[in-house]
Structure 1
């Protein structure tokens, strides 16, 4: 009963916070694009605090030394929960998500996402969508941003497997960047399309980068093997380093 009550309160807080920040931030749409990131990062910080104080969900980050302090990066992150689309705004200084085009249709929020330069992709767009992804990815990397892509292409429930999409390998080839694999157990506590948010610790495990220039089949196979093995370890509750991070936002350069 307590978990249900906490989940109700969190949903009220989450949607209320999202609506309030989106509406109050609309004036920055008239300002330069870099003015848009601070309110979005503030929103992400609020969501993390709401999870902690309302739902009893803490976050732990291990391997953060593998993330860049500045400059371009290509991050391939396991996607089990909506939280995965929030937390990278706090973990790297200038995040550029690769996200589905439908998110741009959300009133106010979609305007901010477009303004800040997130990379939207039409998942049914075929070759044209891939060309757009590569062009936008190269531009983001040239601007020194950290690209975050979910190689499965969608949220996947804990314990389930789907093939990794070729977009991550194409983006690695187009940008010439090493790929940083990231595992998580986020879906155990905040499930895919789940109402209940269960108390506990969500762990984000950043693994050493895979070198640039790997052939596409090799990159995809190694990426999937590393991420899935580490995610399975986290979901099994095996011990991790006690490097608890407060996820204070990193300033963009």
Structure 2
């Protein structure tokens, strides 16, 4: 019975969440069309709405820890669900994502992603995707900001191992910017697929900054080690039970 009630609450939450995406997107559209501040305003308002409604509709509270980066940096994050996108973006002053190309064709999300100058790549063509990603990032550095990349390339459920992609190291070297790793446990409560949302406390944690100058192998090893260790600690905090 308790599961059925929580599922119903989750269904209502998800339904209003996507409805409000449309409402907020349309309301802010005239401002977003003439100013990038309007696009950021719309997206941050939506992020705040989702986190607020998650708290009282499904009992899911959220917290962002660590020092939030404000300058020109590369943010390399663990990715478990849509919730970590919301939490990271809301806190960064001028964040923009490296994302799969297909998202540009998604209603509302695609329009605002284009307006924010997010970097779209074709994940099916790995070498060409990395070259295009570096070129697009370099061309898009006219406005300072925080470039967000998910180093494993996709959403990875808690407890599942997945390799870290070399594209993060290539960007780190080409841009010559520091990298801020980020860990999370959001997938325990908000899965990558499905309707059910589990009550609890979801956390995204910005970790200490990695300075420039590391070679590719050292950078990738340090990045994976830091993000995985911090994410494991957050999973333990959330009471996540691993399968033996």
Q: What's the TM-score once normalised by structure 2's chain length?
A: 0.90
2:60 aligns with one of 57, 60, 80: 57
Residue 123 of structure 2 corresponds to which residue in structure 1? 123
> In structure 2, what is the equivalent of residue 162 of structure 1?
162
Alignment of 1:38-49 (within 5 A): 38-49=41-52
1:10 to partner: Cα distance: 0.7
Alignment-derived partner of residue 201 in structure 2: 201
- Contact 1:183/1:205, CA 8 A, preserved across alignment: yes
1:91: Cα distance to partner? 1.1
Match runs of 1:1-253 below 5 Å: 1-28=4-31, 30-63=33-66, 65=67, 67-68=68-69, 70-237=70-237
Superimposed CA distance per residue, residues 50-95 of structure 1 (whole angstroms, 9 cap, x where no aligned partner): 11121111112221x2x22x32111111101111222222111000
SS in structure 2 at match of 1:193: coil
Q: Is the 8 A contact 2:200 2:238 kept in 1?
A: no
Equivalent residues of 2:121, 2:129 under 8 A apart: yes
How far did 1:147 drift? 0.8
Deviations 1:8-34 (A, max 9, x none): 111111111112122333334541334
Aligned-residue offset at 1:140 = 4.0
Partner Cα separation in structure 2 for residue 201 and residue 238 of structure 1: 7
Provide structure 2 residue ranges, at least 5 long, that are not aligned to the other structure.
240-244
CA distance in 2, matches of 1:89, 1:34: 14
User: Runs of 4+ in structure 1 displaced over 6 angstroms?
Assistant: none
**Aligned residue pairs: how many?**
236
Quick one: distance in 1 between partners of 2:73 and 2:33?
Answer: 29
Q: Distance between the aligned counterparts of 1:108 and 1:99, measured in 2? A: 15
* Cα deviation, residue 115, structure 1: 1.3
In 2, Cα distance between equivalents of 1:225 and 1:109: 32
The superposition leaves residues 178-236 of structure 1 with CA deviations (integer Å, 9 ceiling, x where unpaired) of: 11111110000001103210010001121111121111111111111111111111111
Q: Which residue of 1 aligns with 2:242?
A: none
Check conservation: 2:73, 2:178, Cα contact below 8 A: yes
Alpha-carbon distance, 1:128 to partner: 2.8
**Greater RCO structure (CA 8 Å; 6+ sep):** 1
